[in-house]
Structure 1
């Protein structure tokens, strides 16, 4: 399948996710790769208040798009995303959470177990 993406980093991430999905029999990575293949105008943006509403303490979530800084987060959560705004990153870390790239999460959790996708 030909990718319509031109950014080499995005293309490499999609290829890595697809390879990881096959190697670990982990459909979560295939789902994220498919989300990243979409047109840029359809990429998801999630605000930290939405993450706060949808998670509990010590959960790990993945956003196949950008995390924005609108609202507050009141508990620690590990968030992996394609991109973070600086404000979102600061708010997540101030609440005791952690911000990761999708590639870092894939390295830490190859099977993608106990990861919730938020779109």
Structure 2
């Protein structure tokens, strides 16, 4: 029998519900995939460094990290990054390169169809 574990973080549970709802209403499979990844155990969350964002980011895209963005590496490209959490050094490096840091909730509100979004993990 599968053990049922509920998330205790109220922000995370409301985010998962919001992502599933956005996936249904806007027919965007990206939000269902992100909800599935956030519903998994926390040890499976993505931890992405700035250097990886620099390597895979293209002009005009938004980078989505279903986990935490860490500050190792250099960033010289202005990118929009949405994530569950950011380290302090990651925020300073992204904003220092004229980029923006946003939550996943803000990204869903700004881009409900999920177009031009790249998922990194």
TM-score, length-scaled by structure 2: 0.94
Report what 1:32 is aligned to: 34
Structure 1: gaps spanning 5 or more residues = none
1:57 pairs, out of 35, 56, 59, with 59
Alignment of 1:96-107 (within 5 A): 96-107=98-109
Q: What residue is the counterpart of 2:96 in the other structure?
A: 94
Give the gaps of 5 or more residues in structure 2. none
- TM-superposed CA distance for 1:90, in Å, is 0.7
Cα-Cα RMSD: 1.1
Q: How much has 1:3 moved relative to structure 2? A: 5.6
Q: List aligned pairs for 1:2-21, cutoff 5 A.
A: 4-21=6-23
**TM-score of the two chains, using structure 1 as the length reference:** 0.95
Alignment of 1:58-77 (within 5 A): 58-77=60-79
Is contact 1:4-1:37 (8 Å) kept? Answer: no
> Does the Cα contact within 8 Å between 1:3 and 1:37 map onto a contact in 2?
no
